[in-house]
Amino acid sequence: MIRALVLSTALLFTAAGSWAQSPVAEPSASAPAAAPAAPKAWNSLSPDQQRVLQGYQGKWDSLPPERQQALAKGSQRWVSMSPEQRAGAQQRFSQWRAMPPEQRQQVRQRWQQYRALPPERQQQVRESFNRFRQMPPERRQELRRQWRQMTPDQRRRVIQHPSPERPPPHRPH
């Protein structure tokens, strides 16, 4: 169960981190370098995208092509969201903006760590997070309490060698 907490926490930060990241994807070390992005004309955006990006209209042509592409992609994603999805995204963005810079940096680092995981490990993290979210609030709180009582070394061992059968180690008082 501690494994679920650890992995769900990682995924929680990845969710926050996904809003923290620039929409421009970081190239991976194994991926070939992509061709430079071509400038995107303002008039090539849909009317809905132009409404979302209206604050950029006057400076659109001065933006780097990569930023234009990222903004166009993000605005298209926004336009395709349901009202509920937009409300959730706005809430997450507000939470992100309320974070101190140090916490944002931690979230960015955790996001990069998550993205560096192999796809099957990322899937395990997502599944563990979903199991954690489905637990009763009291159980989640208990797992958080157990996590806080662990030493950093105990936490590392649980993360590196998760075992659903093994009870979490307790910190000596």
Quote the pLDDT of residue 171: 43
Both tokens assigned to 101: 């810079």
pLDDT tens digit sequence for 33-57? 556 678 789 999 999 999 999 999 9
pTM above 0.75, yes or no: no
Residues with Cβ within 8 Å of 46's Cβ and at least 6 positions away in sequence, in order, are 76, 79
Helices (H) and strands (E) in the chain, counts: 8, 0
Which regions of the chain are under pLDDT 50?
1-31, 165-173
Burial track 35-46 (b if 16+ CB lie within 10 A, e otherwise): eeeeebeeeebe
DSSP per residue over 45-96, as a string?
S-HHHHHHTGGGGGGGGGS-HHHHHHHHHHHHHHHHS-HHHHHHHHHHHHHH
**Distance of alpha carbon 141 from alpha carbon 135, whole angstroms:** 10
**Predicted local distance difference test score (pLDDT) of residue 113:** 92
What DSSP element (H or E) covers 9? helix 2-20
Closest Cα partner for 19 from 82, 85, 116?
A: 85
In this prediction, residue 35 carries a pLDDT of: 64
Structure tokens at 82: 């349901």
